[in-house]
């Protein structure tokens, strides 16, 4: 038999109303009574029944803000997958009186993200999930939010704050190590590797690069070398141009670590360079473009960020906070990031 507030009430010789006031810190309780009730609750290892709780709270409709820096229909595989996970969790919790409020800021626009954030706060959200832009204005705003008592959960992308927030996503440093390991396993000759990243100002990319380079230095320095780093942004045209230019300047390149946001443009530049089919390419995430190129053999392997799982877990973690007031043990909740190849997508 599970312990209920009624049992605690009887044992503490008070009414359930008083127990409720103590456990939910609504005050207006004599200190000695409060101590007695808390002691008994702890002794009995009381945990509220989430079914009853959500039923009682049904009319309250606790709000959770979900804010992302890309538009919902923007072609961003990682974020789109993240939302699939969020929606899946939302469906599971449909009956639990938690309503998600979705907001989108203009693509990578810091001011816009701050604006939307403020709008969410005015709606009275109890928790915030965000794919933050890594910018001091965002950081400081999030710090304010956290000090208000609203916990912040960054998913997919992370940002640095003074106050503790939570990150749900892959261990990007490790993903970089894995990429290096893959090149080592797949290589038929020493490699001069070009790195195509969407942005080093996204924290994850910086960590990824660090993991990649440190692994090469520590383990594979005799056969792998970083030949160039090029930043291809999230639009296909600049992505195309940047990669094209980089390849022109680095004829020695025979391998590419391809983590561009705008894969289509980057891959087009590669295909025009005659490296296609000869260069050893490892990518991030099986987006449509990447899948196509895995299937036709141009890309050998992709490291799956599995952002769907990240989105799903984000909502789970928030649910635990809302329901039971418990926050994660660690401020990093890492999602597994494994490797996929052509055969994963046959048929």
Q: Which residues of this protein are in contact with its own copies, per CB under 8 A?
A: 2, 47, 49-52, 54-55, 58, 94-96, 174, 177-178, 180-182, 185-186, 188, 215, 300-301, 304, 338-344, 346
Supply the minimum distance, in Å, between the C-beta of residue 242 and its own copies: 28
Which three-class secondary structure state does DSSP give residue 153? Answer: strand
Which region, judged by CB under 7 A, interacts with DNA, from 5-13, 74-82, 157-165, 275-283?
5-13
Nearest alpha carbon to residue 175 among 307, 304, 308: 304
DSSP label of 223: T
State the Rg of the chain over Cα.
Answer: 24
Among 5, 127, 203, 259, binds DNA (CB under 7 A): 5
Supply the minimum distance, in Å, between the C-beta of residue 43 and DNA: 15
Altogether, the residues listed in the chain come to a count of: 347
Distance CA 123, CA 203 (A): 29
DSSP label of 106: S
Nearer to its own copies, 26 or 58 (CB): 58
Supply the minimum distance, in Å, between the C-beta of residue 183 and DNA: 53
Partner from DNA, its own copies, none contacting 343, C-beta within 5 to 8 A by type: its own copies
Nearer to its own copies, 2 or 162 (CB): 2
Q: Which residues ranging from 174 to 203 are in contact with DNA (CB under 7 A)?
A: none
N-term to C-term CA, the chain: 51
Binding mask 20-59 for DNA (x = CB under 7 A): xx-xx--xxxxx-xx-------------xx--xx-xxxxx
Which region, judged by CB under 7 A, interacts with DNA, from 15-23, 118-126, 160-168, 237-245?
15-23
Nearer to its own copies, 212 or 240 (CB): 212
Distance CA 206, CA 223 (A): 23
Residue 346, token pair as written in the block = 């046959």
Supply the minimum distance, in Å, between the C-beta of residue 205 and DNA: 42
Which three-class secondary structure state does DSSP give residue 155? Answer: strand
Nearer to DNA, 154 or 322 (CB): 322
Partner from its own copies, DNA, none contacting 21, C-beta within 5 to 8 A by type: DNA
DSSP label of 70: S
Neighbours of 135 (CB within 10 A): 16
Size of the site for DNA (CB under 7 A): 31
Helical ranges in the chain per DSSP H: 5-12, 16-23, 31-43, 50-56, 77-92, 110-122, 136-147, 172-186, 203-215, 236-249, 263-272, 288-295, 307-324
Among 14, 125, 284, 310, binds DNA (CB under 7 A): 14
Q: CA dihedral in degrees (107, 235, 74, 319; nearest 10)?
A: -60
Supply the minimum distance, in Å, between the C-beta of residue 64 and DNA: 16
Residue pair 160/192 in contact (Cβ under 8 Å)? The answer is no
Nearer to DNA, 33 or 200 (CB): 33
Supply the minimum distance, in Å, between the C-beta of residue 141 and its own copies: 33
DSSP label of 27: -
Q: What is the DSSP string of 278-309?
A: TSEEEEES--HHHHHHHHTTS--EEE---HHH
Which region, judged by CB under 7 A, interacts with DNA, from 16-24, 188-196, 285-293, 296-304?
16-24
Nearer to its own copies, 148 or 330 (CB): 330
Residue pair 154/168 in contact (Cβ under 8 Å)? The answer is yes
Distance CA 163, CA 191 (A): 42
Supply the minimum distance, in Å, between the C-beta of residue 97 and DNA: 9
Where on the chain is the footprint of DNA (CB under 7 A)? 2, 4-6, 13-18, 20-21, 23-24, 27-31, 33-34, 48-49, 52-53, 55-60
């Amino acid at each position: 038999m599970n312990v209920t507030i009624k049992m605690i009430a009887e044992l503490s010789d008070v009414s359930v109303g008083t127990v409720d006031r103590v456990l939910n810190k609504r005050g207006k309780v004599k200190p000695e009574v409060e101590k007695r009730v808390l002691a008994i609750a702890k002794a009995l290892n009381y945990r509220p029944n989430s079914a009853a709780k959500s039923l009682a709270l049904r009319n309250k409709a606790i709000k959770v803000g979900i804010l992302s820096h890309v538009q919902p229909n923007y072609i961003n595989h990682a974020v789109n997958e993240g939302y699939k996970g969020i929606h899946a969790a939302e469906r599971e919790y449909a009956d639990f009186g938690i309503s998600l409020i979705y907001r989108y800021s203009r693509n990578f626009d810091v001011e816009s993200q701050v604006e939307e954030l403020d709008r969410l706060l005015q709606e009275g959200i109890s928790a915030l999930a965000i794919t933050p832009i890594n910018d001091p204005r965002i950081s400081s705003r999030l710090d304010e939010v956290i000090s208000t008592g609203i916990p912040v959960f960054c998913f997919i992308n992370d940002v640095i704050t003074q106050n503790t927030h939570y990150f749900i996503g892959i261990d990007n440093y490790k993903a970089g190590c894995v990429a290096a390991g893959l090149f080592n396993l797949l290589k038929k000759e020493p490699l001069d590797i070009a790195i195509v990243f969407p942005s080093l100002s996204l924290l994850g990319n910086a960590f990824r690069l660090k993991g990649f380079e440190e692994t090469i230095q520590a383990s594979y320095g005799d056969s792998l070398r970083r030949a160039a780093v090029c930043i291809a942004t999230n639009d296909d045209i600049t992505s195309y141009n940047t990669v094209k230019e980089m390849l022109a300047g680095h004829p020695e390149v025979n391998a590419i670590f391809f983590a561009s946001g705008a894969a289509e443009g980057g891959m087009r530049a590669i295909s025009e360079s005659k490296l296609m089919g000869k260069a050893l390419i490892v990518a991030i995430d099986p987006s449509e473009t990447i899948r196509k190129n895995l299937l036709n053999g141009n890309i050998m392997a992709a490291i799956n960020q599995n952002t769907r799982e990240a989105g799903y877990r984000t909502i789970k973690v928030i649910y635990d906070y809302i329901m039971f007031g418990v926050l994660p043990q660690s401020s990093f909740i890492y999602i597994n990031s494994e490797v996929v190849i052509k055969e994963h997508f046959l048929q």
